[in-house]
Structure 1
């Protein structure tokens, strides 16, 4: 009886661990993992096993800036089952990373974006055992091409973060409820009064879209939409970008 009471508050209870098979992922990429459940000191009945893709997004609440978890995707992997004491269970899993998953590897310390997989065992009348695995998410080739075009156009990446909300551009809209902003600033003197350029990616099948916010001195903000095929080369995209930036 004592062990059951302790397990209900998480002491000696079952544990769960998701082990990814890839070290680095890209938005829209298939991935695989093994979910390992280690039984505790007593048998425990669970009502489900859920894997959730989560990011942390900035939001404005009551005139204050807060950071909130936003679920980008979720997979329910198991229904009711009993985790026997001392037993180990391994469940294979295959999924696809949401195409709007924020990039975490670009920009080093200047990138404030966080993405993780949250694995949870749903235990009735007890503390739910859970596991959080941070993800390294790299840009897709189409995203890398635009970043390279921004650099050739005379801008450098200043910082990156994630905001809560949706984006709407010319012929495209975001779906996930959170979007990443890559903030670029001029590498030297700006001839057109540009103070910063914010880029947000919105993938759409075999095409990439970007909503670009341009902040110019004395003229305020303006928004431009840019769309290109995944195979577009750097010179072509650079020419499109220069036209968009004016």
Structure 2
């Protein structure tokens, strides 16, 4: 009875560990792994097993900005089962990352972008036993080419973060409830030139949409958008399409 009581408050209870085949991924990529459940000191009934794709978002408020966790998507991996004392159970899974998963692998001075998988065991009357695994998210071909074009145009990536909300244009709308902003600054400033450029990528099927926010001296902010198809010719033409917007 004493062991059952301790397990009910999270002491000596079941534990979970997510083992991914790779943590290095691209937005929209399929990934796989297995969840290892290790029984505690007594048999326990697990109400369910869930996996969530998480990121940290900036929320603007009256008292200033603050960061909070945001769930991009989740998967129900397993229904109710009982785990015996010290039993080890491996549950394989496959899933696909949300196409709007923020990028984490960026060459920038300030990178506030984080992405991780959270695994939870729903143990009745227990503290949530959870496991958090960081993911390393790389830009797709369009984003890589776009960022290279910004570098070639004389801009440097200064900061990256993820903000709560949606992007809405006449051409596209984001769907994840958050969006990433990549803040670029020119290496050389001019009195009437561009002071800052913020890029947001919204990948979709066979196309990546890009929202571009331009902050010009004495003119304020202006918005432009481009949609780049995922083919070699369109990717090769990114610099040519971007240059007039920066002039």
The corresponding residue for 1:206 is 206
What SS does the aligned partner of 2:148 have? helix
Q: Give, in whole Å, the separation in 2 of the partners of 1:157 and 1:133.
A: 27
With 187-196 and 10-19 compared, the bigger mean Cα shift is at 187-196
Counterparts of residues 35-184 of structure 1 (less than 5 Å): 35-107=35-107, 110-184=110-184
**2:108–2:158 Cα contact (<8 Å) kept:** no
Query: Corresponding residue for 2:225?
Result: 225
In the superposition, the TM-score normalised over structure 1's length comes to 0.96
The answer as to 2:17 corresponding to 1:17 is yes
Q: How many residues align?
A: 246
Shift of the 18–108 alpha-carbon distance from structure 1 to 2, 3 Å rule, reads farther
Cα shift at 1:109: 5.2
Contact 2:191 2:217 in 1 (8 A): no
The verdict on how the C-alpha distance between 1:16 and 1:108 changes in structure 2, with shifts beyond 3 A counting, is farther
Alpha-carbon RMSD across the aligned residues, in angstroms, is 1.4
Give the drift of 1:191. Answer: 7.3
Contact 2:192 2:218 survives alignment (8 Å):
no
- Assess if the C-alpha contact under 8 Å between 1:226 and 1:244 holds in 2: no
State the partner residue of 2:239: 238
- How much has 1:232 moved relative to structure 2? 4.1
Q: Does the aligned pair in 2 maintain the 1:142–1:231 contact within 8 Å?
A: no
C-alpha deviation, 1:123, in angstroms: 1.0
CA deviations 1:205-230 (Å, max 9, x no partner) are: 10111101001111100000011111
Distance 1:108 1:89 in 2: 41
How far, CA to CA, are the matches of 1:143 and 1:40 in structure 2? 46
Q: Is residue 48–residue 80 contact of structure 1 (8 Å, CA) maintained in 2?
A: yes
TM superposition shift of 1:189: 3.0
Q: Which runs of 5+ in 1 are unaligned?
A: none
Aligned partners of 2:58 and 2:65 also within 8 Å: yes
Secondary structure at 1:173's aligned position in 2? coil
The answer to whether the 8 Å contact 1:54/1:72 transfers is yes
The 2-side partners of 1:199 and 1:81 are apart by 46
Deviation at 1:188, TM superposition (A): 1.8
The alpha carbon displacement at 1:190 in A equals 4.1
Q: For the Cα contact (< 8 Å) 1:213–1:224, is it kept in 2?
A: yes
Q: TM-score, with normalisation over the residues of structure 2?
A: 0.96
Structure 2 residues not aligned, in runs of 5+? none
